Chain A
Amino acid sequence: MNHLPLIIKREYLTKVRNKSFIVMTILSPLIMIGLILLVTYLSQLNNNKVKTVAVLDESGIVKELFEDTETTKYHRFDNITLENAKQISKEKEYYGLLHVDELSSLESISKHINFYSEDSPSLTLISDLEFKLGEELTNLKMIEEDIDLEKIEASKINVNINQENFSGEKTSKIDSITKIAFGVATGYLLFMFIIIYGNMIMRSVIEEKTSRIVEIIISSVKPVQLMLGKIIGTSLAGVTQFVIWIVLGSILMVVLPFFLGIDISQMETPQQQMIQQAVESQGSGDLMQNIFLAVQSLPLLNLVIAFVLFFLSGYLLYSSLYAAIGAAVDNETDTQQFMLPIIMPLILAVYVGGFTVIEDPHGTVSTIFSFIPFTSPVVMLMRIPFGVPVWQQVLSLLILIGTFIFTVWFAAKIYRVGILMYGKKTSYKELIKWIKY
């Protein structure tokens, strides 16, 4: 008798109807979006405060250099001593005081520029000042040396390398960035999925043990069926949750800022800057169009097929191990000793994926890790956007499926014995013995 559909249905329904599951499903995207908005809001709040910087320029050469901006105002002192300037700046609670000493040569001036302030000044302000002063002093020096500034300006050449692969398809920096984004997104998605729903499977196995229902059930169904039913049912609940998160998240992402009047696009992240630079160096075209082109040039069909296959087998590989752990212990606190060997390869995979693959997607390390079954789902998924030969993908998948069949067999053995063991603290030695029962 095949009871698998019945078990899957029960697992799915109990998970989905569970109150904390519902709360988490609805609340998580709210919290996530809320946090993003909060961070954006706070960073804008910070920027909105106007800083006043006092300038005492005794050399008289950078007087007109600083122009007021939205966030920074400059107050120029004239004909007062440094001590007085400091005094006034302090009394008026200026952000700081920039002092340029009067000296004979530009070189010595450049070495005697000071900034006085109450607290240590912000890094961006200082580097901004340094950049402006440096540029101005360089220009002055060039004039002093009789160099024609216009000529220099005119002789600047901007290089933009056109990238093309051997079969003639155009590639670009934005291509690589899109590939990295795709790879990292799928890799992390799998990682998160395994951790969240693997744990859920483990807890539900432990629950069956502690509620002592398991013996009643396995007098009707085979333990392997129960285990697979659990894994599949929980995963379907997981997919449901994920889809709701994505839909709800994107809706909130669009709607909420509109209501709260916060502009998310103003938030600058390092990634955005990277993309911006890539686009600017490209010279022409707008960002969205470029990304669209880049996505189109990805091996999409390959990516989708590989994603489904690697995601499934990778997830099943790990979740069967989680189920085995659940069966081997009596309560959640005992799971720690068995968790490490599962988490380690996962974290390793994400690190290898996050650093090595991005640097060199077809290097030795990346290639090897995309074949090792416990890291291959994550690493291979990150590599595929960069183009991986089909034979490598197939071989890696075969190794993965082989290992997956082995772990399901192994987990089923442990599961079969473990679910009927009560009150014993299990050791690794014990687990090996169970295999032989």
Chain B
Amino acid sequence: MSNLLEAHSVSKKFGDFTALNNASIAVPEGSVFGLLGPNGAGKTTLIRVINQITMPDTGHVLLDGQPLQPHHIKDIGYLPEERGLYKSMKVGEQALYLAQLKGMQKTEAKKRLFEWFERLDIGDWWNKKIQELSKGMAQKIQFVVTVLHEPKLLIFDEPFSGFDPINANIIKDEILRLKNEGATVIFSTHRMESVEELCDHIALLHKSNKILDGNLMAIKKQYKTNTYEVGINAENHSVVERALAERFTTTAANFRTIGDELKLNVKLSEKDTANDLLSYLTTQGQVSHFVEQIPSANDIFIQAVKNN
């Protein structure tokens, strides 16, 4: 799979403040790429560099193998975190204006806008002013305007903030639909559950540095600790617990079940396999729960930030 977008050692300073320090990312074509990091890590600066809003001090960005040029604007759709619309302008008029700024012809833009409005069930908003709409409603318009010109690369900065769960779901489905139609998506957020659901690749920024990137599954493998959640029904809990502690490293667990079995997190040493643990457990009592602990994006995020 080739990379649609590559950023090579991009640095940006604002006065004495380093917003981005030698950050490189590679976004594979057709993927959903999660750009993660705490507030102030440099996500927005990197996104602005990709959008040619901010010029980097050093480093360069390639789109489709070419250095970024003004005409690439029409290949990118960008939904910024700080977003809004002209309050006193009508919805349709405003959407047309923004589409034309992206280089679309008026008639074509109008046709596609009607299609989108139909699909999102907002057709009757065309002549309303933005100030008559709720925040969530305005966000829908912004989303449509971002994707209308069918760009190769879509960049969403915190796309779900301000949406209620139902509308957030609609937008999520639309993003996945666009991905299936061939768009590449960069997705900046600190809401980890949406990362789990959507992202194939991630990059983690912390204090202006990239500290982690790659395929999400590969990273999860790298971060897993060979720990299993175990639930076991035995006559004497403390005897079993002591026996297990002799062979493995155990800690108390707090997952939920319907019974009152013994619950433990069991960490395997390098020479043990899951089967070794399972067969040992069966000698001790009835196994009711056996799950490998896969680190969530949230865990990886927290751990990676802590390690730095």
Contacts and interface: CB of A to CB of B under 8 A. Distances in A.
B145 interface: yes
A217 B98 contact: yes
A112 interface: no
A124 B111 CA distance: 76
A222 B84 CA distance: 18
B260 to A, nearest CB: 53
Contact of B78 (A7, A211, A219): A219
Interface of A: 1, 3, 6-7, 10, 14, 18, 207-208, 211-213, 215-222, 420, 422, 433, 436-437
A213 B86 contact: yes
Contacts of B209: none
Interface of B: 14-15, 48, 51-53, 70-71, 73-74, 76, 78-80, 82-89, 97-98, 100-103, 142, 145
Given A211-B85, A437-B15, A1 B103 contact: yes
Contacts of B85: 211, 213, 216
Contacts of A211: 84-87
Instruction: Rank and list the top 4 A-B pairs by shortest CB-CB distance, nearest first.
Output: A212-B84, A220-B101, A215-B80, A211-B84
Given A219-B51, A220-B73, 16 more contacts: A1-B71, A6-B97, A10-B97, A207-B86, A207-B87, A211-B84, A213-B84, A213-B85, A213-B86, A215-B53, A215-B83, A216-B78, A216-B85, A219-B53, A433-B15, A436-B15
Nearest to B73: A220
Contacts of B80: 212, 215-216, 219
A433 B13 CA distance: 12
A217 B80 CA distance: 10
A7 B76 CA distance: 20
Nearest to B57: A437
A208 B80 CA distance: 14
A215 B97 CA distance: 15
A243 B52 CA distance: 40
Contact of B53 (A1, A218, A422, A437): A218
Contact of B98 (A207, A216, A433): A216
B86 A219 contact: no
Nearest to A422: B82
Contacts of A222: 70
Contacts of B51: 219
